[in-house]
Structure 1
Amino acid sequence: MYIVTNTTKIKKNEAHKLIERFDKVGQIESMEGFIDLEVLETKKLRDHDEVVIVTRWEDEASFKGWMKSDAFKNSHKHEGEGKRPDFILDNEIGFYEVKVVRRAVARVS
């Protein structure tokens, strides 16, 4: 499994503006190799908000397919124009290959 995170620093009290963009079905859900997407809001920050978008893929090739797709280009149009929403201060992308997964075990009552 391959995981990509987009950690976005946002103006204080404006995290909801980014979160709302992900609160609907988009084109990523139909991409080959896509597993799921989570939107996390970091808590207890003083000076800014932070939202982390986590996408899980079957493998790196599936993620790269998304990056090259028209669906990706359409959903990131503002970036191609050199623009980003004014509430976004900064962002950082992380790439991870999953090495170990542990699951809860069934509990006997």
Structure 2
Amino acid sequence: MYWWVVVLVTLSAALAIAFQQKEQRPSETQKDEPPQFVTAFNVEVEEGHEKEFIERFQKRARLIDKAKGFKGVYVLQHTQTDNKFLVVTFWKDEASFRAWVESEEFRKAHAEGGVPTKAMQLDTYRIVAK
């Protein structure tokens, strides 16, 4: 009499696991594809605002993480000049980056304003060899 309960519970657990894996697959696939486009944003912040600049990246909403085609980001601090940073983002392609820049999420992520800066420069690159 109880064998059907065991079968039902086992089937329910298997379906839940399969559904959970199916939900994860698209984002994992997106992250597994190698990036083809990179941005390098050179930022020189006003002296004394280095910690604030770093904390903004650590605490921000991370809206970029949900952007289609986004692969990852690194914030690098210069080894000899503490107020110089390089923000490097990796994208599936240039179209994904352009779509992010034109999105409402981009505007939300940058709405608060920023840390006082001395200089900023954005460079973009295509990955041509590994």
TM-score by length of 1: 0.78
| Displacement of 1:73 | 0.7
How far apart in 1 are the matches of 2:49 and 2:39?
A: 23
In structure 2, the gaps of 5 or more residues are 1-35
How far apart in 1 are the matches of 2:110 and 2:56?
A: 12
How far apart in 1 are the matches of 2:56 and 2:40?
A: 16
> RMSD of the TM alignment (CA)?
1.7
Assess if the C-alpha contact under 8 Å between 1:15 and 1:41 holds in 2: no
Return the structure number with greater strand share. Answer: 1
How far apart in 1 are the matches of 2:129 and 2:50?
A: 31
SS at match of 2:80: coil
Q: Which residue of 2 aligns with 1:104?
A: none
In structure 1, the gaps of 5 or more residues are 102-109
What number of residue pairs does the alignment pair up? Answer: 94
Assess if the C-alpha contact under 8 Å between 1:14 and 1:49 holds in 2: yes
How far apart in 2 are the matches of 1:31 and 1:85?
A: 23
RCO higher in 1 or 2 (8 Å CA, sep ≥ 6)? 1
Q: Equivalences for 1:11-90 in 2 at 5 Å?
A: 11-24=46-59, 26-45=62-81, 49-78=83-112, 84-86=114-116, 88-90=117-119
Moved over 3 A (4+): none
Q: Which residue of 1 aligns with 2:26?
A: none
Assess if the C-alpha contact under 8 Å between 2:52 and 2:115 holds in 1: no
| Displacement of 1:78 | 5.0
TM-score by length of 2: 0.66
